[in-house]
Homo-oligomer: A and B are copies of this chain.
Amino acid sequence: MEFGTAEYQERIRKTKAKMTEKGIEVLLITDPANMNYLSGYDAWSFYVHQMLVIIDDEDQPLWIGRAQDANGAKLTTWLFHENIFPYPDDYVQSTTKHPMDYVAEILEQIGQEKRSIGVEMENYYFTAKCYERLQKGLPNSTFKDASLLVNWVRLIKSDKEIKMMKRAAKIAELSMMKGIELIDVGIRECDVAAEIFHTQIKGTNEFGGDYPAIVPLLPSGERTSTPHLTWTDDTYETGDIVTLELAGCYKRYHSPLARTVSIGKPAEKVQTLSDIVVEGLNNCLSMIKPGIACEEIEETFRKTIAKIGATKESRLGYAMGLNYPPDWGEHTASIRKGDKTILQPNMTFHLIPGIWLDQYGFEASESIVITENGCETLASLPRELFIKDGFVKIIS
């Protein structure tokens, strides 16, 4: 458990306040990051159904999950063991039984079957089938959409969480430097990715790394026209652009970072794009402070890059922190037109002004924490297009 029981209880208190606002009496948490946030639960068991149940008038949540994972819940959470409810293995990926049938039975047994139940409708780990089976199993319950309810509680971090994200940022810095150092003519993409992974997981001598919610993304050449391709076992060639997006992760807290490498002198258009994106990013970092709205950041960036006629259709950033695959983003505030979320101290964002054109792309990003007077980047690494000489190395 990474936080004291008092911090978990405070999170539960904030969650219950939001439940009350929305008229939710029983909240079913299936997002693994939300489960971890409220209970400490940490395991790669989210590929089977599991949940945390928050009941408005109960002090502790219930954990419901697969029998073989129950010892994991005992080892990683602050819950009393009698609050851990394991379901038998024949519920796993069965064509006849579904774990939500078990959940419905438990809720009925503990007298919660006629209440107003909140479910995370828009979460990877709450499938359409989950909802169908729960509704069938609990015909006297009222269901409400509780998507992102806990995610919004997560938006403002505690000082302890910020400290953990700074450790993650240290790992991100080291991993990015390793990638930039290794990318060169004749090197295989997978070998660069392997060294990045190694750095991410090893961490530092003081603290080890955890697995980021997204693998390193490092498309090269024409593949930089899109941000989410992973590596191949091809070798880099002179003239390649490589966009590198990765995160450091410390005890499930993330700090993402993106940079771009040019192997050999970049084409003028690439350097121009790089310069204006970095200028835009710097302008944003200068103006970010508590009290402004997310959309104002986007406006600053948009106006900067308009100077050379560039545009960016996709959002400029998003809240992030604690997470599990497949995403380190929190799915709450986005830095884009129309997002009126007001910045407050200890909110954390990944500001990623990537631009992907049809033949190439450019990315440079920072993870930031909102401070009392402005913002601070979590990592510290030059913001520029990194240029390798691009000469073929002769191995002596």
Contacting pair B123 A127 (CB below 8 A) = yes
Contacting pair A217 B127 (CB below 8 A) = no
Query: Does A195 count as interface, using CB distance less than 8 angstroms?
Result: yes
Interface stretch, picked from A183-191, A366-374, A376-384, A386-394, is A183-191
Nearest B residue to A315 by beta-carbon distance? B89
Contacting pair A202 B229 (CB below 8 A) = no
Contacting pair B336 A90 (CB below 8 A) = yes
A299-325 Cβ-contact flags toward B at 8 Å (1 or 0): 000000000000001110010000001
A230 to B211, CA, bound (A): 9
Query: Does A13 count as interface, using CB distance less than 8 angstroms?
Result: no
Contacting pair B203 A190 (CB below 8 A) = yes
A337 to B127, CA, bound (A): 26
A197 contact from B131, B194, B318, Cβ within 8 A = B194
Contacting pair A233 B215 (CB below 8 A) = no
Contacting pair B71 A356 (CB below 8 A) = yes
A226-257 CB contacts (< 8 Å) to partner B: 226-233
Residues of chain B contacted by A129 (CB below 8 angstroms): 121-122, 145, 147
A112-129 CB contacts (< 8 Å) to partner B: 119, 121-129
Residues of chain B contacted by A338 (CB below 8 angstroms): 90
Residues of chain B contacted by A127 (CB below 8 angstroms): 121-124, 126-128
Contacting pair B201 A197 (CB below 8 A) = yes
A211 contact from B43, B215, B327, Cβ within 8 A = B215
Contacting pair B71 A358 (CB below 8 A) = yes
Contacting pair B329 A326 (CB below 8 A) = no
Query: Does A193 count as interface, using CB distance less than 8 angstroms?
Result: yes
Nearest B residue to A145 by beta-carbon distance? B129
Nearest B residue to A312 by beta-carbon distance? B89
Contacting pair B75 A226 (CB below 8 A) = yes
Q: For residue A133, give the distance in angstroms from its CB to the closest CB of chain B.
A: 9
Interface stretch, picked from A62-70, A103-111, A153-161, A273-281, is A62-70
Query: Does A209 count as interface, using CB distance less than 8 angstroms?
Result: yes
Residues of chain B contacted by A200 (CB below 8 angstroms): 194, 197
Query: Does A331 count as interface, using CB distance less than 8 angstroms?
Result: yes
A202 to B71, CA, bound (A): 34
A93 contact from B76, B90, B197, B334, Cβ within 8 A = B334
Nearest B residue to A199 by beta-carbon distance? B194
A314 contact from B68, B121, B145, B229, Cβ within 8 A = B68
Contacting pair A233 B207 (CB below 8 A) = yes
Residues of chain B contacted by A326 (CB below 8 angstroms): 44, 46-47, 325-326
Contacting pair A47 B327 (CB below 8 A) = yes
Residues of chain B contacted by A23 (CB below 8 angstroms): none
Query: Does A291 count as interface, using CB distance less than 8 angstroms?
Result: no
A191 to B210, CA, bound (A): 11
Q: For residue A386, give the distance in angstroms from its CB to the closest CB of chain B.
A: 22
Residues of chain B contacted by A128 (CB below 8 angstroms): 119, 121-122, 126-128, 130-131
Residues of chain B contacted by A119 (CB below 8 angstroms): 128
Residues of chain B contacted by A58 (CB below 8 angstroms): none
Contacting pair B203 A233 (CB below 8 A) = yes
Residues of chain B contacted by A75 (CB below 8 angstroms): 222-223, 225-226, 229
Interface residues of A (CB under 8 A from B): 42-47, 67-72, 75-76, 88-90, 92-93, 119, 121-132, 145, 147, 188-191, 193-195, 197-203, 207-211, 214-215, 217, 222-223, 225-233, 313-315, 318, 325-327, 329, 331, 334, 336-338, 356, 358
Closest 6 CB pairs between A and B?
A190-B208, A208-B233, A128-B131, A47-B327, A71-B226, A194-B202
Selected A-B contacts with CB under 8 Å, 8 pairs: A68-B226, A92-B334, A121-B129, A126-B128, A129-B147, A190-B203, A194-B197, A197-B201
